[in-house]
């Protein structure tokens, strides 16, 4: 007897999200009433001109920034109904972030940087170490775990940042220009690693990128321009 495939459900909904910056007499509308649905398991690229608000949108989708209006749901949770402390806990547990400039802590080793989210979540030192080692092995950095960021290449730092984003086993991965400052060859290897891990860990991923090649390998490409998302 054949079984039909279970339909994929949305993991993320953004509904009529508005972000406006106001200072003195200036009022900058980044986007207004912007909506987006991302299906579980999907890998989406967001492209668009500099200054269009791509990073701002990513920060709102991940609960790092609050919108002026609108709702964002991740799974069954309407994330902006959380207070700041609960929102931070939810982010730490459910969402992995990769930032353009990595934000690795220079005084700590690769292993310690990757352990950090689990230690913040009050996991034991031994559990954090074991999980961080496993993820660093997944991103092909097992040989470099005792090195600090300053002793690593740009590509290696990008892999540490990817491992840190994945260490808590998030459902949603948000990446802001993950290969923005890397040469084309290193970019290619990070892309293929991202794609492989997206599949093997059954992630839902949203990637902001200027890299046309990376965008073209995603399931869907959305363009953010003049405050609107164009499919």
pLDDT digits 0-9 by tens, 121-150: 888 999 999 999 999 998 888 898 999 999
Q: Is the dihedral of CA 77, 82, 84, 85 positive or negative?
A: negative
Question: Of 34, 32, 30, 43, which Cα lies nearest the Cα of 13?
Answer: 34
Residue 64 burial by Cβ neighbours in a 10 Å radius (0-12, 13-18, 19+): middle
Residue showing tokens 């292993």: 111
Domain containing residue 56: CATH number: 3.40.50.300
Residue 119 counted as domain residue: yes
Q: Give tens-digit pLDDT for 72-128.
A: 999 888 999 999 999 988 988 899 998 877 789 999 999 999 999 899 888 899 999
On whether residue 112 sits in a domain, the answer given is: yes
> Above 80 in pLDDT, residue 152?
yes
pLDDT given at position 41 = 92
How confident is residue 206, by pLDDT bands cut at 50, 70 and 90?
A: very high
* 166 or 187, higher pLDDT: 166
Give a yes or no: residue 20 inside a domain. Answer: no
- Asked if the structure places residue 223 within a domain, the reply is yes
Q: Give the 3-state secondary structure of residue 199.
A: helix
Full domain range(s) for residue 132: 41-67+83-230
Residue 53: inside a domain = yes
CB proximity list for 106: less than 8 A, separation 6 or greater: 148, 149, 150
* Residue for token pair 């980044």: 30
Token couple for 192: 């293929």
Residue 57 in domain = yes
CA pair distance 77, 9, nearest whole angstrom: 14
CB neighbour list of residue 215: distance below 8 Å, 6 or more residues apart = 45, 47, 207, 209, 221
Which contiguous run of DSSP H or E holds residue 69? strand 69-74
Q: What is the pTM of this model?
A: 0.87
3-state secondary structure of 48: coil
Determine contact, residues 80/63, Cβ cutoff 8 Å: yes
- In 103-112, which positions are buried (b, 16+ CB within 10 angstroms) versus exposed (e)? ebeeeebbbb
On whether residue 30 sits in a domain, the answer given is no
Side-chain half-sphere of 32: how many Cα atoms within 13 Å?
6
> Is the confidence at residue 3, as pLDDT, over 60?
no
Contact 70/18 with Cβ under 8 angstroms?
yes
Residues 6+ apart with CB under 8 A from 51: none
Q: How large is the average pLDDT for residues 55-60?
A: 92
Mean pLDDT score, 58-84: 92
Q: What does DSSP say about strands 69-74 and 10-23: parallel, antiparallel, or unpaired?
A: antiparallel
Looking up tokens 């034991």 gives 124
Question: 């990513």: which residue's tokens?
Answer: 58
Looking at the structure of the chain, the number of domains it has is 1
Is position 94 within any domain?
Answer: yes
Q: pLDDT band at residue 181, thresholds of 50, 70 and 90?
A: confident
């Amino acid at each position: 007897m054949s079984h039909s495939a279970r339909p994929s459900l949305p993991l993320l909904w953004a509904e009529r999200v508005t972000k406006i910056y106001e200072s003195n007499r200036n009022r900058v509308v980044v986007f207004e009433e912007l909506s987006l649905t991302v299906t579980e398991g999907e890998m989406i690229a967001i492209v668009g001109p500099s200054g269009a608000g791509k990073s701002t949108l990513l920060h709102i989708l991940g609960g790092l920034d609050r919108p002026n209006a609108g709702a964002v749901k991740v799974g069954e949770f309407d994330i902006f109904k959380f207070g700041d402390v609960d929102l931070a806990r939810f982010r730490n547990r459910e969402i992995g972030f990769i930032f353009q400039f990595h934000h690795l802590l220079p005084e700590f080793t690769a292993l310690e940087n990757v352990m950090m989210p689990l230690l913040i979540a009050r996991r034991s030192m031994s559990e954090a170490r074991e999980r961080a080692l496993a993820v660093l092995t997944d991103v092909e950095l097992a040989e470099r775990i005792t090195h600090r960021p300053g002793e690593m290449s740009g590509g290696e730092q990008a892999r540490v940042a990817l491992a840190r984003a994945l260490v808590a086993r998030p459902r949603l991965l948000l990446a802001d220009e993950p290969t923005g400052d890397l040469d084309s060859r290193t970019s290619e290897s990070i892309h293929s690693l991202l794609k492989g891990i997206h599949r093997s860990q059954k992630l839902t991923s949203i990637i902001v990128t200027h890299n046309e090649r990376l965008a073209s390998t995603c399931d869907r490409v959305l363009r953010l321009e003049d405050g609107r998302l164009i499919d």
